Amino acid sequence: MADEKKETAPVVAANTEAAAADASKAPAAEGKRKKGGRYVPSGIAFILATFNNTKVTFTDLHGNVLCWSTSGKNGFKGSRKSTAYAAQVVAADAAKKAEALGMKEVEVRINGPGAGRESAVRGIASVGMEINAIKDITPVPHNGCRPPKRRRV
């Protein structure tokens, strides 16, 4: 019985030491994984402003996603997700993440009919990023598909 306790005690201690070592490595590994050692001085910010939500995505010039943010991710629920203030908070949050990767200048592409179109651009500018161009890439049909029937409220 005494021998069994002696055997289990060092194993538990070894596990705790290994766990402590893993815990000390985890933040460094996570930090490296997040940043990835990348430095991206300029990129593209895509703003998708729908009637229900606002999403902001920062990519490099090749279109590879670097960081993103949405209204729901920032704590807005229900009808508050579609407000202009939520869009400004979302854009500022995503811009701070992109700025941590070294992004200084950005081209903004806006998509969708939502309320957060202009305020999202204001949120990006408030972080201190230089906005080179603003493009509206909302798809407009040239009499293609038949639209859904009219809403009756």
Tokens 């998509």 sit on residue: 111
Structural domain total, the chain: 2
For 46-103, write each residue's pLDDT tens digit: 999 999 999 999 999 999 999 999 999 999 999 999 999 999 999 999 999 999 999 9
**Amino acid making up residue 77:** K
Domain co-membership, 75 together with 109: yes
Q: What Cα–Cα distance (Å) separates residue 9 from each residue in 12, 15, 16, 17, 74?
A: 5, 10, 11, 12, 45
Show the domain range for 128: 42-136
Domain co-membership, 26 together with 72: no
In a domain, 145, yes or no: no
Domain co-membership, 62 together with 105: yes
Domain co-membership, 31 together with 52: no
Q: What is the pTM of this model?
A: 0.73
For the chain, give the mean pLDDT. Answer: 85
